[in-house]
Amino acid sequence: MNELKLSNLLTPKNILLDVKEKDKDALLAKIIKTFSEVNNIADPEALAREVTEREALGNTGIGRGIGFPHAKSSQVEEISVLLARPARPIEYGALDGLPVNLVILIIAPDSGDNNQYLHAMARISRLLGKSEVREKLAQVKTPQEAIDTIAAFEN
């Protein structure tokens, strides 16, 4: 199986640092809007609905300050992501009660390889679960620095 690496999915355009939005809904809206612009999504509203409908069936805060909204959608042709770092921790409703410092949106094609999607999410969850990765990402000054940091841990 082709191993998807988060650093290969990221570009400076799909990384938002120090996002000013102050609550979860506003943050997700900002993330989805930017994701839609970067990926030329034909119907951003449909994508927003798909993400929020999934969110409604279970909070995607996976603990340790990470929000991981995800969905399958006909709006993308390949697995695509957006990484956001809020300017301040945002209450996300995660099970461990911690506000989030990092949010990563992952959207996969609804007709794509489900195993690849599951493995990509698993790899990202494991990577961002590491405190040293989160600590480094909290300090980066530019999107490119974020990519380099993630690549260093992935390699």
| Binding positions for another protein, rule: CB under 8 A | 54, 57-59, 61-63, 95-96, 114, 118-119, 121-123, 125-126, 129
Q: Compute the least distance from the CB of residue 6 to another protein, in Å.
A: 13
Q: What DSSP state is assigned to residue 100?
A: B
Q: Compute the least distance from the CB of residue 96 to another protein, in Å.
A: 8
Nearer to another protein, 16 or 104 (CB): 104
Q: Compute the least distance from the CB of residue 13 to another protein, in Å.
A: 26
Cα 87 to Cα 21: distance, rounded to the nearest angstrom: 8
Cα 3 to Cα 75: distance, rounded to the nearest angstrom: 23
Q: Compute the least distance from the CB of residue 63 to another protein, in Å.
A: 5
Give the pairing of strands 80-86 and 102-109.
antiparallel
Nearer to another protein, 40 or 96 (CB): 96
Nearer to another protein, 30 or 117 (CB): 117
Nearer to another protein, 123 or 136 (CB): 123
Nearer to another protein, 44 or 153 (CB): 153
Q: Compute the least distance from the CB of residue 26 to another protein, in Å.
A: 22
Alpha carbons within 13 angstroms on the beta-carbon side of residue 67 total: 29
Q: How many residues are recorded in the chain?
A: 155
